[in-house]
Structure 1
């Protein structure tokens, strides 16, 4: 009897343990299901994606392009001064630099003094890699700089949730991008090579923090990352070109005009040489003609006159 009771107690306890285990599993499954449902709801809920005022007009009339490495470039690549910016959309100091100094860079680009190249790096921050890839996809549609301004503004507006994937997509849509092309670009993974190039370039240039500014390849000291410091550095780099009022296009035209002028001078010299020879020949002929004219004239004038005089003398003598 004692053994039988013990067995029953054990069996009851085992059944209770199993019931508790099944209950815990069921609760866990329910919690996971709720979390997944919430994530789906959040991911499918349109995010606020405000676009900074005047961002579309800011870059009107400015040449934009892409470097061989896949970085966005603002201005003429052949501008006298090149400015390279290693930056990150999640970096607070990068946003501060953008808000205080980027207007200066845009103005100098418009004046033809500089070009600006943005080199994206992944630093600490929620989905900053996603933001970088989205910006590269915006570059494919020639809207990098508008998107670049937008991402920095979001850092200040939305904090840790600035770069949720649906916000990145909503921002591209708000800027008027081709969403099919944008989504395909983001999903393709083709942007990774650009980010890999940026990491390699940073290592090569000894870059360890953002923002870092290089002017004509020389790194600007951290304490000069102010509007005035950057302006002074650009002025120093541009000083050798300050006296040139012509643009690169005008210089090219001037060079062509000079070449044409030199060619014209050579042609003129070639023509002048035969002309001189012809003139000399004409002069010689004129001399010969003059000599020929003089000889008969002397003969015709002197000889007949002498003869006529002699005849007249004879006649006068006879008459006498």
Structure 2
């Protein structure tokens, strides 16, 4: 199935993108699929939040080029924890986020990384079967096509992801992706490893 791109507006009218959905604040808490997705020790001295969209080419550039260095030199060294928060920019990004959140938490990072690596194929290829391509990646993570379709039909999960986006706008003034939050201060745009480490206030040499 090919999904027509429609922009998710930066205010409440973005709900027009997901017909029939109405936000219910606080509904995320009871759904483990909407729990925190992160990499790094819970007691790491520095926590950085990343708001991202799976159809954002700048987000893909960060994850494909910079994230491997951040992970090996900072996260795995116990210096930093990265928390991922969904900020879908369009309907296709929302669909991909729904599938990602439906996987077990331990498979989340690998699936998201695989989607970013193959973004040109499933998100931007002309005439692509967008959902079919996402389902192929999900199959490698152990998710059947029937499970993918069931996830995509789950309006509660869609609502929760849109609430996460709204919270990012309200709490951190996020208006573009990627946006990183360092010590409460948002920094939009893809970052080099050196700039990321500088803003995080950590040494990764």
- Report the equivalent of 2:175: 208
SS in 2 for 1:177: coil
TM superposition shift of 1:142: 2.7
Q: Which structure 1 residue ranges, 5 or more long, are not aligned?
A: 1-38, 43-65, 243-320
Alignment of 1:230-241 (within 5 A): 230-234=196-200, 236=201, 238=202
- Report the equivalent of 1:191: 157
Q: Give the Cα separation in 1 of the matches to 2:33 and 2:131.
A: 27
Q: Does 1:88 align with 2:53?
A: yes
- Between Structure 1 and Structure 2, how many residues are aligned? 172
Q: Give the Cα separation in 2 of the matches to 1:67 and 1:78.
A: 21
Q: Does 1:99 align with 2:35?
A: no
- Tell me which stretches of 4 or more aligned residues in structure 1 moved more than 3 Å: 66-69, 177-186
Q: Structure 2 residue aligned with 1:144, among 103, 108, 119?
A: 108
TM-score normalized by the length of structure 2 = 0.71
- Report the equivalent of 2:134: 168
More strand by share: 2
Q: Give the Cα separation in 2 of the matches to 1:227 and 1:73.
A: 18
Q: Give the Cα separation in 1 of the matches to 2:118 and 2:112.
A: 10
Q: Give the Cα separation in 1 of the matches to 2:54 and 2:41.
A: 24
TM superposition shift of 1:191: 1.5
Answer yes or no: is the 8 Å Cα contact 2:122–2:134 preserved in 1.
no
Q: Does 1:76 align with 2:34?
A: no
TM-score normalized by the length of structure 1 = 0.47
Root mean square deviation of aligned Cα:
3.0
Answer yes or no: is the 8 Å Cα contact 1:82–1:115 preserved in 2.
yes
- Report the equivalent of 1:131: 96
SS in 2 for 1:82: strand
- Report the equivalent of 2:76: 110
Q: Give the Cα separation in 2 of the matches to 1:194 and 1:104.
A: 31
Distance 1:178 1:159, change over 3 A: closer
Q: Give the Cα separation in 2 of the matches to 1:212 and 1:175.
A: 27
Question: Which structure is richer in relative contact order (CA contacts within 8 A, separation 6 or more)?
Answer: 2
Answer yes or no: is the 8 Å Cα contact 1:131–1:163 preserved in 2.
no
Alignment of 1:1-320 (within 5 A): 70-107=35-72, 108-124=74-90, 127-138=92-103, 140=104, 142-161=106-125, 164-177=130-143, 181-204=147-170, 205-220=172-187, 222=189, 225-234=191-200, 236=201, 238=202
Answer yes or no: is the 8 Å Cα contact 2:58–2:178 preserved in 1.
yes
